[in-house]
A and B are shown apart, each in its own frame.
Chain A
Amino acid sequence: MTYPIEQIRADFPILNEKIRNKPLVYLDNAASCQKPQAVIDSMVKLYSHDYANVHRGVHTLSIRSTDQMESARHKIKTFINAASDKEIIFVRGATEAVNLIAQTYGRANIHAGDEILITAMEHHSNIVPWQMLCEQTGAILKVAPMNVAGELLMDEFEQLLSAKTKLVAVVHMSNALGTLNPVEQIIALAHAKNIPVMLDGAQAIPHTAVDVQKLDCDFYVFSGHKLYGPSGVGVLYGKQALLEAMPPYQGGGDMIRTVSFEKSTYAGLPYKFEAGTPAIAEIIGLGAAVDYLNTIGMQAIADHEASLLAYATQQALQIDGLKIIGEAKEKGAILSFTLGRIHPHDIGTMLDSLGIAIRAGHHCAMPVMDFYQLPATARASFAMYNTKAEIDVLISGIKNLIEMFG
Chain B
Amino acid sequence: MFEDLRELYQEVIFDHNRNPRNFHVMENADRQVDGFNPLCGDKLTLFLKLDGDIITDASFQGSGCAISTASVSLMTEIIKGKTQAQAEELFTLFHEMTTGKEEHINLEAVGKLAVLAGVREFPARVKCATLAWHTLDAALKNQQQAVSTE
Query: How long is the Cα–Cα vector from A369 to B64 in the complex, in angstroms?
Result: 14
Nearest neighbor of B124 in chain A, beta-carbon distance: A349
Answer yes or no: B128 CB below 8 A from chain A CBs.
yes
Query: How long is the Cα–Cα vector from A361 to B18 in the complex, in angstroms?
Result: 21
| Contact of A406 with B64 at beta-carbon distance under 8 Å, contacts A349-B5, A349-B125, A353-B5 already known | no
User: B78 to chain A: which residues have CB within 8 Å?
Assistant: none
B1→A369 contact, CB < 8 A: no
B14→A346 contact, CB < 8 A: no
Nearest neighbor of B9 in chain A, beta-carbon distance: A404
A343→B5 contact, CB < 8 A: no
A343→B18 contact, CB < 8 A: no
A205 CB to closest chain B CB (Å) equals 27
B128→A345 contact, CB < 8 A: yes
Query: How long is the Cα–Cα vector from A349 to B122 in the complex, in angstroms?
Result: 9
A228 CB to closest chain B CB (Å) equals 25
> CB-CB contacts of B1-38 with A at 8 A, as 1s and 0s?
11011001100001001100000000000000000000
Q: Choose one: B1, B41, B43, B66; the contact of A354 (CB below 8 Å).
A: B1
User: A298 to chain B: which residues have CB within 8 Å?
Assistant: none
Query: How long is the Cα–Cα vector from A338 to B124 in the complex, in angstroms?
Result: 20
Enumerate A133-165 residues with CB–CB distance to B below 8 Å: none
Query: How long is the Cα–Cα vector from A343 to B64 in the complex, in angstroms?
Result: 7
B41→A375 contact, CB < 8 A: yes
B12 CB to closest chain A CB (Å) equals 13
Nearest neighbor of A360 in chain B, beta-carbon distance: B40
A345→B5 contact, CB < 8 A: no
A345→B40 contact, CB < 8 A: yes
Answer yes or no: A405 CB below 8 A from chain B CBs.
yes
Query: How long is the Cα–Cα vector from A346 to B125 in the complex, in angstroms?
Result: 9
| Contact of A343 with B9 at beta-carbon distance under 8 Å, contacts A360-B40, A376-B41, A400-B1 already known | no
Answer yes or no: B65 CB below 8 A from chain A CBs.
yes
User: A18 to chain B: which residues have CB within 8 Å?
Assistant: none
Q: Choose one: B2, B42, B65, B66; the contact of A353 (CB below 8 Å).
A: B2
A400→B2 contact, CB < 8 A: yes
A346→B67 contact, CB < 8 A: yes
B98 CB to closest chain A CB (Å) equals 15
Answer yes or no: A189 CB below 8 A from chain B CBs.
no
> CB-CB contacts of B93-133 with A at 8 A, as 1s and 0s?
00000000000000000000000000000101100100000
Query: How long is the Cα–Cα vector from A28 to B67 in the complex, in angstroms?
Result: 23
A45 CB to closest chain B CB (Å) equals 35
Q: Choose one: A353, A361, A376, A405; the contact of B4 (CB below 8 Å).
A: A353
Interface size range of chain A in the complex:
20 to 34
Query: How long is the Cα–Cα vector from A401 to B14 in the complex, in angstroms?
Result: 12
B39→A343 contact, CB < 8 A: no
Q: Choose one: B1, B14, B69; the contact of A405 (CB below 8 Å).
A: B14
A362→B41 contact, CB < 8 A: yes
User: B1 to chain A: which residues have CB within 8 Å?
Assistant: 354, 397, 400, 404
Query: How long is the Cα–Cα vector from A128 to B86 in the complex, in angstroms?
Result: 43
| Contact of A404 with B65 at beta-carbon distance under 8 Å, contacts A361-B40, A362-B41, A375-B43 already known | no
Enumerate A16-36 residues with CB–CB distance to B below 8 Å: 20
B78 CB to closest chain A CB (Å) equals 22
B2→A343 contact, CB < 8 A: no
B40→A406 contact, CB < 8 A: no
Q: Choose one: A375, A400, A406; the contact of B18 (CB below 8 Å).
A: A406
| Contact of A350 with B2 at beta-carbon distance under 8 Å, contacts A345-B125, A375-B41, A406-B14 already known | yes
Nearest neighbor of B1 in chain A, beta-carbon distance: A400
Query: How long is the Cα–Cα vector from A349 to B68 in the complex, in angstroms?
Result: 13
User: A376 to chain B: which residues have CB within 8 Å?
Assistant: 40-41
User: B128 to chain A: which residues have CB within 8 Å?
Assistant: 345
B3 CB to closest chain A CB (Å) equals 8
Answer yes or no: B63 CB below 8 A from chain A CBs.
yes
User: A346 to chain B: which residues have CB within 8 Å?
Assistant: 9, 65-67
Query: How long is the Cα–Cα vector from A406 to B66 in the complex, in angstroms?
Result: 12
Q: Choose one: B2, B42, B65, B122; the contact of A401 (CB below 8 Å).
A: B2
| Contact of A20 with B4 at beta-carbon distance under 8 Å, contacts A345-B125, A346-B67 already known | yes
User: A345 to chain B: which residues have CB within 8 Å?
Assistant: 40, 42, 64-65, 67, 125, 128
Enumerate A350-406 residues with CB–CB distance to B below 8 Å: 350, 353-354, 360-362, 369, 375-376, 397, 400-401, 404-406
User: B17 to chain A: which residues have CB within 8 Å?
Assistant: 341
Query: How long is the Cα–Cα vector from A342 to B17 in the complex, in angstroms?
Result: 9
Query: How long is the Cα–Cα vector from A96 to B132 in the complex, in angstroms?
Result: 36
> CB-CB contacts of B31-72 with A at 8 A, as 1s and 0s?
000000001111100000000000000000001111101000
27 interchain pairs, CB-CB under 8 A? A341-B17, A342-B66, A343-B40, A344-B40, A344-B65, A345-B40, A345-B42, A345-B64, A345-B65, A346-B65, A349-B122, A349-B124, A349-B125, A353-B4, A354-B1, A354-B2, A362-B41, A375-B43, A376-B40, A397-B1, A400-B1, A400-B2, A401-B2, A404-B1, A404-B2, A404-B9, A405-B66
Taking A342-B66, A346-B9, A369-B41 as given, write out 5 further A-B residue pairs in contact, using a Cβ cutoff of 8 Å, ordered by the A residue number. A345-B42, A345-B64, A375-B64, A376-B41, A404-B1
